[in-house]
A and B are shown apart, each in its own frame.
Chain A
Amino acid sequence: MGGSGVRNLERRYRALLKVLPRWYRRDREEEMVGIFLAERDDDLDLEHSWPGWGETWAVLGLAVRTHLAAGAAFTGVPARVVWRGEVVRALGMLGLLLGLFYAMAAVVGLVAGPQEPWWRFLELAPVVAFAALLGGRRTLAKVAAAVPLSLVVIAVGSLEDSGYAVWWGMVQLPSLVTFVCLCLGFHREAPVPPARRLVWWGGGAVLVGVVGGLSAATGLFAVALITVVVRVVVFVRGDFVLGRALSLFALLQLVSLLYLVVPSGNLLVPAGFLAVLLVLAVVLPVRRRPKAAPRVA
């Protein structure tokens, strides 16, 4: 295709399709251009028209799905693309589990502790997000996962000290990353995560969250310790996807921890030990099981 007879509209559509990965374009570009230009034979149209917003938006959505190979099966997809998509989904799930931990810690804190602002009840949103995602209700899950981010806005508005607002924002960094991962990884065509297995993980996060509500330091320590232990197990099993996701997950926790501890000047031994554990989880190598075929859902 192409050559000297190529009209401007076709050039523009081909330029738009460059947002798709090369392996996908190799298979589909000619077919897609054929549909874009079907029954369009008006000279003015072919020279001066541009791809519409709707088409552009749909192609951008397809680009996200194909670059992350998020759950969709394609022919000729490179293994690294499949792994990238699975890492994004795994990181999203880990973020939701961390959200469950914080939600339960908040509940216990609200029940046992002093009076808190009313909006702290919104911290329960990750519970809704987790349940919705396991039930296949992806949109509800994303909306609920966005709620902790709205807490940042409320916090910024209600706190007089802007430095404290920035601190609050950094502490919520895992929520932001979780939300982005859910949007990118769990779109309409992506598979529903395995509910039965994840319910157990969710239960564990809730239990640790209860501990966290009674003693924040112990809870955070438990989360970091579990992260490192699972990271080691995953390394031994040669699970590249979960290993990479756990590295990123530990890095997020590390950033939050530094923002929690450093401004307060409370550089105690437990915080330092916690940071060392998380650094270990970040830098531990990831390993691929020999001859592991990329799993395409």
Chain B
Amino acid sequence: MSEQSFLVLTALAEEPLHGYAIVQAVEQLSEGRMVLRVGTLYGVLDRLVADGLAERDKEEVHQGRLRRYYKLTDSGVRALQAEVARLSANVRAASAVLRGRGVQAWVGRA
């Protein structure tokens, strides 16, 4: 699973979101590292919907503009769980190696 898909799924895990809210949520989740372009966002959403991990939800008009919401499916929740477990195992392994070298695993931000 690409980092973009992972972050979009994470964003949708809390509640159904419309496109712009997904872009904002991904930027926030990644602490500003990832800014999804609109073309990229729809590439990711198309694939997630195709794989049955996300689906279209309600539509609304906000300030004269269409907003379409997307939500996570049960398969999406399971896929996200599996990815979190995989990444957590990697983090645990890397942390153990770093501790073995006498280096702390987490570097605090200034």
Contacts and interface: CB of A to CB of B under 8 A. Distances in A.
Interface of A: 1, 28, 30-38, 54-55, 57-62, 65, 71-74, 187-189, 296-297
Give the one of A59, A72, A189 with max B CB within 10 A.
A189
A58 B50 contact: no
Given A31-B66, A34-B19, A35-B19, A55 B37 contact: yes
6 nearest A-B residue pairs (beta carbon): A58-B39, A73-B50, A58-B37, A34-B65, A62-B39, A59-B39
Dominant secondary structure at the A interface: helix
Given A55-B38, A58-B38, A296-B50, A35 B43 contact: no
B34 interface: no
Contact of B47 (A32, A59, A60, A72): A72
B67 A188 contact: no
Contact of B64 (A1, A28, A36, A71): A1
Given A1-B64, A188-B2, A31 B43 contact: no
Given A34-B19, A61-B39, A189 B46 contact: yes
B90 to A, nearest CB: 18
A54 B44 contact: no
A260 B18 CA distance: 57
Dominant secondary structure at the B interface: helix
Interface string B55-88: 0000000101111100000000000000000000
B39 A33 contact: no
Contacts of B64: 1
Give the one of B20, B38, B64 with max A CB within 10 A.
B38
B25 to A, nearest CB: 13
B42 A28 contact: yes
B23 interface: yes
Interface residues of B, number: 22
B43 A32 contact: no
Interface in B31-52: 37-44, 46-47, 49-50
A176 B78 CA distance: 41
Contacts of B2: 188
B77 to A, nearest CB: 20
A73 B37 CA distance: 20
Nearest to B47: A189
Contacts of A62: 39-40, 42-43
B46 A30 contact: no
A31 B40 CA distance: 14
A82 B68 CA distance: 25
Nearest to B48: A189
A228 to B, nearest CB: 35
A211 B11 CA distance: 55
B50 to A, nearest CB: 3
Contacts of B62: 34
B104 to A, nearest CB: 33
Give the one of B2, B46, B47, B65 with max A CB within 10 A.
B46
A211 to B, nearest CB: 41
A17 B41 CA distance: 14
Contact of B65 (A33, A54, A71, A296): A33
